Structure 1
Amino acid sequence: MADPKISAYYQTRMAHFGAVTNDWLAQAQSASVITTTPPPPSPPPTAATLSDPSHQKPSFSVIDEFNRWRKQPDLAEAVAAIRALAAVIRSSMATTMMQLEIELKSASDSLKSWDTTSISLTAACDLFMRYVTRTAALEYEDFNSAKSRLIERADKFGEISYTARKVIAMLSQDFIFNGCTILVHGFSRVVLEVLKLAAQNKKLFRVLCTEGRPDRTGLRLSNELAKLDVPVKLVIDSAVAYTMDEVDMVFVGADGVVESGGIINMMGTYQIAMVAKSMSKPVYVAAESYKFARLYPLDQKDLAPALRPVDFGVPIPSKVEVECSARDYTPPQYLTLLFTDLGVLTPSVVSDELIQLYL
């Protein structure tokens, strides 16, 4: 059962990464006091169909379809949402384009409400709607032809999103050279794909993994790299500046890429980027284009709260406030390049790409 004190964003990450257990969560809750106001609970799942029973399949639920896709361990949450929205089109009993678009909009809103703190989920739903329905040519086709075209586009968008990691991994290979040392933070599946391909290409490099407290995501990444026989060293989060002399580059993922060209990612990314910048180390971001969001945070407090439990191993007095935010914002001036399925971008180009995506 979902804990209202922990954001859906963080619970989803735990389910995907398998980094912590329910027992650990229970201990963390008893050891910490969350003083910030938790986000409102997500509404119960609703069928993404029209209210008129004559225009819907009662057995179909976009949330159920989304959860079915989400069970695949290597499938990103945003891609699962895209697949679920494609299923909405296939299962629709609508007889006009207007009805179908209303149905799609309702399904998209249901998915975004399922986890209001997930930037990639919201961005993927918005991009899907723009990509699938943005041409006026649909108005001049008969409904069945238009619906077939929508299904074709939905499948294409889903395939583009699904293969994004492999595209990013290929684009990044020229930047990883023999003998280099790479610092990574947290567990990012796209960063793992980048490093996996480099290892398969017989490149010789070593990786420094931050521990990634409190959910120990760095431990999982170090385990995955060890399976690939990649030399890996685990460092505590507070030792980033101490070890930066050994580093040739920093590679991080992103929960969201915002209009400024900055990123929203796991807590600690901002300070790592600041240390790297001060020591003239390049900071590379690997992020799929479905994470490009129409957001423009000015500072850390502009982010929607995404809470996580923090376990210090000892009871914390009730008068002590505990910072439970799960992510931070890294401004574009601390980033060198973004590797995306749209190409290798500088932070200043991101706003142009966002305009093209949402046109």
Structure 2
Amino acid sequence: MEPDAAQNPNPSPAPPPISAYYQTRAEHHAVVSSDWLAHAAAAAAANPGADAADAAAAPPPSPGGAGGVIEEFNFWRRKPEAAEAVAAIMALAAVIRSSRATTMMELEIELKKASDKLKARKTIAMLSQDFIYDGCTMLVHGYSRVVLEVLKLAASNHKLLRVLCTEGRPDRTGLRMSNELAALGIPVKVLIDSAVAYSMDEVDMVFVGADGVVESGGIINMMGTYQIALVAHSMNKPVYVAAESYKFARLYPLDQKDMTPAHRPIDFGVPVPTGVEVETSARDYTPPQYLTLLLTDLGVLTPSVVSDELIQLYL
């Protein structure tokens, strides 16, 4: 063995710093809190340099390597509230930084190849279209930006569908969803939350978003999601969850009591008698056995695969 063989001439770089978002999420792994996204947002606001640190920590795409630009895209897309267009721009900028092209023509060819890879990547809304067919009736609960994109794409593809939209107490976010669906020309019917079982025989499938996808494969979402999934399961209706992978959390609740409630005020329209207790929790936990599939930017996953994906995200 040569004298310097034991020394690595190219030592591995130090691991990149963890962003404020993931630091906050890691700090809350022991307690299942349905407000962990809010905690993460607050941490990011308190650390304005986090984005710069993330940029420095971004893995450089492998020039010519399979999936390099996709990996870069996924890095930026996992950030809270990151638009796909911004993630695509950051991924293509990384291709330029790592390019070894010596002419503008070579650089243009590299960018064209990277752009084609991004275009070939299916978004959550695109993946969901395989499960939506003409003439179907969908039940949605509350307001979900991802579910809205799913329905927008279905409408733009001229699919004929009907949506039953719950009121979504305590926030009444279902009314906001119904307004946006009506503006798209999608036939929509608003249900009071207690009419879910009554109307389930009209439904072909349930689509919900998620505030968090936990390690068991279950989800944390707005109050009422659990009972909707229970009713749908008992009547053999599929329940699809549309959620980004940045909402995956290393939490393992077993039941509702493992969650720290997120309280919201409720307006009943009439005064509540003094001394009467009111349940003001705004989130619940839906176990994985009541969910059919999760549609994510990582692909279409069964609930049992979520723990494997979390392992990959945290390695």
TM superposition score normalised by structure 2: 0.69
Residues 1:356 and 2:273 are matched in the alignment: no
Q: Residues 71-124 of structure 1: CA distance to partner in whole angstroms, max 9, x if unpaired? A: xxxxxxxxxxxxxxxxxxxxxxxxxx98x949x5699559989xx753345679
Partner residue, 2:76 = 158
Change (3 A) 1:230 1:293: same
Would you say the 8 A contact 1:119–1:291 is kept in 2? no
Q: Which residue of 2 aligns with 1:225?
A: 181
Distance 1:112 1:225 in 2: 38
- Aligned equivalents of 1:160 and 1:331: distance in 2? 24
| Structure 2: runs of 5 or more not aligned | 1-12, 44-52, 61-70, 86-121
Q: CA–CA distance in 1 between the matches of 2:197 and 2:124? A: 28
The correspondence for 1:184, drawn from 140, 148, 151, is: 140
Which residue, 168, 175, 179 being the options, matches 1:212? Answer: 168
- 1:262 corresponds to which residue? 218
CA distance in structure 1 between the partners assigned to 2:312 and 2:265 by the alignment: 38
Task: Return the alpha-carbon distance in structure 2 between the equivalents of residues 147 and 178 of structure 1.
Answer: 43
What is the letter of the counterpart of residue 126 of structure 2?
M
Provide the C-alpha distance between the structure 1 equivalents of 2:155 and 2:185, rounded to a whole number of angstroms: 8
Shift of 1:150: 1.9
2:34, 2:211 within 8 Å by CA — same for their partners in 1?
A: no
State the Cα distance separating 1:318 from its structure 2 match.
Answer: 2.4
**CA 1:121–1:344: 2 relative to 1, 3 Å:** farther
Which residue in the other structure is 2:36 paired with?
119
User: Unpaired segments of 5 or more residues in structure 1?
Assistant: 1-96, 127-145
Distance in 2 (CA, whole Å) between partners of 1:259 and 1:110 is 13
Q: Is structure 2 residue 209 aligned with structure 1 residue 253?
A: yes
* CA RMSD after TM alignment: 3.3
User: Higher Cα Rg: structure 1 or 2?
Assistant: 2
Are 2:129 and 1:173 equivalent residues in the alignment?
A: yes
User: Which whole-Å CA distance do the structure 2 matches of 1:280 and 1:344 have between them?
Assistant: 20
The structure-2 alpha-carbon separation of the partners of 1:112 and 1:298, relative to structure 1 and needing over 3 Å to count, comes to closer
Alignment partner of 2:133: what SS? Answer: coil
Q: Which moved more, 1:296-305 or 1:174-183?
A: 296-305
TM-score scaled by structure 1?
0.61
Q: Note if contact 2:217-2:303 (Cα within 8 Å) is conserved in structure 1.
A: yes
State the Cα distance separating 1:171 from its structure 2 match: 0.5
One-letter identity of the residue aligned with 1:158: W
| Greater percentage in helix | 1
2: CA distance, partners of 1:195 / 1:323? 32
Which deviations, in whole Å up to 9, do the C-alpha atoms of 1:210-262 show, x marking residues without a partner? 01122211111000000100000111111000100100000000000001100
Count of aligned positions: 241
Cα distance, 1:352–1:202 mapped onto 2, change above 3 Å: same
